[in-house]
Amino acid sequence: MNDETLLEMRTGRAIPRVRIPRLSFEALRGAIVDAVAKGQRLIAFFGDARDSSEEVDVYAVLADGARALVRVGRATLESDRFPSLTPDCPPAHLFERELAEQYGISPVGHPWFKPVRFHGSYRRGHDAWGRAPGEPPVVGVTDFFRVEGEEVHEVAVGPVHAGVIEPGHFRFQCHGEQVFHLEISLGYQHRGLERTLSGGPNKRTLATMEAVAGDTSIGHATAYSCAVEALAGSRVPLRAEAIRGIALELERLANHTGDLGALAGDVGFLPTASYCGRIRGDFLNLTALLCGSRFGRGLVRPGGIRFDLDAERVGRFQDRLDAAYRDVAGAAALLWDSTSVQARFEGTGIVTADTALALGMVGPAARACGLEGDARQDFPSGIYRFAHVPVSTWSTGDVFARAYVRWLEIQRSVAFIKEQLRALPDGSILADVKALRPEHLVVSLVEGWRGEICHVAMTDATGCFSRYKIVDPSFHNWIGLAMALRDQQISDFPLCNKSFNLSYCGHDL
Amino acid sequence: MFSMIRERLRQGRRTIAYPSGDAPTLPDRFRGLPVLDESKCPDGCRSCAEVCPTDAIAWDEGSLRLDLGRCLFCTECLEACPEGAIRYSQDYRLATRKREDLVLRSGRELELARPLEDRLLRLFARSLKLRVVSAGGDASAEADLNVLGTVVFDLGRFGIQVVASPRHADGLVIVGPVTENMKLALRETYAAIPAPKIVIAVGTCAISGGVFRGNPEVNDGVGDLVPVDLYIPGSPPHPMTILDGLIRLLGRLVPGGATDSS
């Protein structure tokens, strides 16, 4: 596609903002709908405006995985209404609701228009739901989809629900055990994170990135660091890139292992549940061996990393990685060999490839439906430019597929880490980071363990962030969980939920 | 069946010996209790305080103080201090009973949590049911609370159990900076727990708001929303830090005793 409507650019490269074409909203809308129909993905769609501004700039970022390019365009909205893209482009559905909530602009014709995180508008005096200023929305109070009928009942769960788990609200429309529809309403974890990033980077920015989703600290810190490095024109030493890759794969290993255990636990298969609960910790402790923190806090920073691996530490690391891998292989094998487990995993919570594609799902949840997207392959950055991790897919789209893709990825992550440890590049681990270039934009993509992490950073005339947009993979995938529950038994919800294991805090920001 | 038994034998017993035996060895780069040595500070140097992301480090009345309730256990101050006046020790024991006890000063020991009052100890020392409410934050403290339920820590050994309903609970564990959107749910959950009850704030976010402090969408931690009986700092706290705090509160660790080695 060589049309001139959108600017083609590489991820991890900063471009002057002036080069981004400014289209009419109609033209931008048409370009997005067109591109998505041709197989590109909408990876970010967000607004930018000052508190008191009458106008809102709307930015769209599309990913063309086949050509390893992203395409960026923008339009200025002078009115508080715009024609919704969602009827023609379903992946825009949540982006539009977010845009409306943040900037008080309404997507006219949106089929399911309601708040996302239940906070006040960023622009004084503009509210998409006509609420008066100073009238804060009440979380969870909105119109829920209802199925009417004598034998239909509704089950409402959360925000405080069983277990040590983040808060969210789930509403099931049921006929007996059968779920007709599940609606998921979040926002309880909303802590105003994205907005505090404007004006940065400052001394809090990196710690904030590590807290976007605590189980993805390496993923978000890496995406942020890549964005800053691109804006500053810094080159990261190769050794740092390799260790970042190791840490990112360790994060994947820990979480995937924990998920296999949790899935086993949800079908009452205790051996794998208890082994994996522990082995997850072994992988977290490997991250701590590297940097002192089980969650990789303090490891990644703009310019490189803070902790190095000497030969002795590499040796210890390899031994413990081998031991943990042996244990997780044994624990996983029990899952696939056990017919009682397979009977519960197979055919449960199916999402078809068509649905996954139409909704713009990402990560292992999408790969379990047979979609091949993986940012490590499609948009390689850092060490992934030199070391390739094969994409793991399965075709059945059920709980089994989501579990099995994790197991495939565990094997490949271990192989990747071992390869890196065998041949760690020499050199320093941290480069200087100069001031950020003013009036630039960068798109940074990292394949976190849940899927594609997208950061878009824009600087103002002084080189500070004028807008920093974060799209956690969970933002794309919560709707996938809702679809997986259609026509399922409500008792399968915990199992389906675990098979996605999405982030509430990453979604709520 | 045989493969399951074989695997069970291979995986072996993995529960730590602590507290009757030694605590597990923590990684050498683990960042535990910070140690301040003000005598190393050059005159007028404020570099550590200037770089601290959460302003946990401050100078008041001419002396250096570090508020564990705000500390992210990052490495900014270490890198900023040319003299090594701040370093992290390997000591994972951080829990206190009072908020003000979390403020460290040069040459002063941390006042670790004392057990509950006798009346509550009689009720909870051998059976404590907890309801966890996640109220903002980044879900990492939740992850390391869940770890306590694994075979490694086996919280059940201490009679401590996480329950689904606040009505079945003896206490509330709070994580996260308490978002505006969770304030009501947190209050309601606290109210639903029958008295007498205890409250435990886990993680820097719950204690002070952590990295989200000052954001209008959050409440800067528990504050005075509900009375807190135990503060467990860390971002997130290591599972050993949480376990130490919990069993310390239940009088399972005698200060200065064999299992309380420094």
Average pLDDT of B2-27? 90
Q: What is the 3-state secondary structure (H, E, C) of B181-232?
A: HHHHHHHHHHHHCCCCCEEEEECHHHHHCHHHCCCCCECCCCCCCCCCCEEE
Q: B118-260: what CATH class?
A: alpha beta
Which superfamily is assigned to A7-108 in CATH?
Answer: NADH:ubiquinone oxidoreductase Nqo5 subunit (3.30.460.80)
- Predicted confidence band at A162 (pLDDT cuts at 50, 70, 90)? confident
User: What are the pLDDT digits (tens) for B133-180?
Assistant: 999 989 999 999 999 999 999 999 999 999 999 999 999 999 999 999
- Predicted confidence band at B122 (pLDDT cuts at 50, 70, 90)? very high
Interchain pair B30, A159: CB under 8 A: no
Q: CATH 1.10.645.10 in chain A, residues?
A: 193-508
Average pLDDT of A40-66? 93
- Measured in angstroms, the CA of B231 and the nearest CA of chain A are apart by 18
Q: Which of A191, A195, A450 to mutate to test the interface with B (most CBs of B within 10 A)?
A: A191
Cα(A210)–Cα(B102) distance, rounded to whole angstroms? 24
Average per-residue pLDDT for chain B? 91
CA angle A22, A26, A29 (to 5 degrees): 85
Cα(B222)–Cα(B190) distance, rounded to whole angstroms? 12
pLDDT score recorded for residue B254? 63
Interchain pair B185, A288: CB under 8 A: no
Cα(A298)–Cα(A278) distance, rounded to whole angstroms? 24
Q: CB contact, 8 Å: B216 with chain A?
A: yes
pLDDT score recorded for residue A362? 97
User: What are the pLDDT digits (tens) for A109-157?
Assistant: 999 999 999 999 998 889 999 888 878 889 988 899 999 998 999 999 9
- Predicted confidence band at A1 (pLDDT cuts at 50, 70, 90)? very low
pLDDT score recorded for residue A441? 97
Q: Half-sphere exposure (CA, 13 Å, Cβ side) for A76? A: 9
| B257 has pLDDT over 70 | no
pLDDT score recorded for residue A54? 85
User: What are the pLDDT digits (tens) for B169-223?
Assistant: 999 999 999 999 999 999 999 999 999 999 999 999 999 999 999 999 999 999 9
Please report, for chain B, the start and end positions of each structural domain, with discontinuous segments joined by +. 118-260
pLDDT score recorded for residue B255? 55
Q: CB contact, 8 Å: B78 with chain A?
A: no
Interchain pair A206, B53: CB under 8 A: yes
Of residues A115, A57, A116, A110, the one with CA closest to residue A88: A110
User: What are the pLDDT digits (tens) for A301-334?
Assistant: 999 999 999 999 999 999 999 999 999 999 999 9
Q: CATH 3.30.460.80 in chain A, residues?
A: 7-108
User: Cβ distance A455 to A205 under 8 Å?
Assistant: no
- Predicted confidence band at A3 (pLDDT cuts at 50, 70, 90)? low
pLDDT score recorded for residue A38? 93
- Measured in angstroms, the CA of B48 and the nearest CA of chain A are apart by 12
Residue in chain B nearest A340 by alpha carbon: B1
Give the one of A191, A280, A297 whose C-beta lies nearest to B74's C-beta: A297
- Return the structure tokens found at A336: 């696939």
- Measured in angstroms, the CA of A187 and the nearest CA of chain B are apart by 7
- Measured in angstroms, the CA of B50 and the nearest CA of chain A are apart by 9
Residue in chain B nearest A191 by alpha carbon: B217
Which superfamily is assigned to A193-508 in CATH?
Answer: Cytochrome-c3 Hydrogenase, chain B (1.10.645.10)
Interchain pair A203, B141: CB under 8 A: no
Q: CB contact, 8 Å: B234 with chain A?
A: no
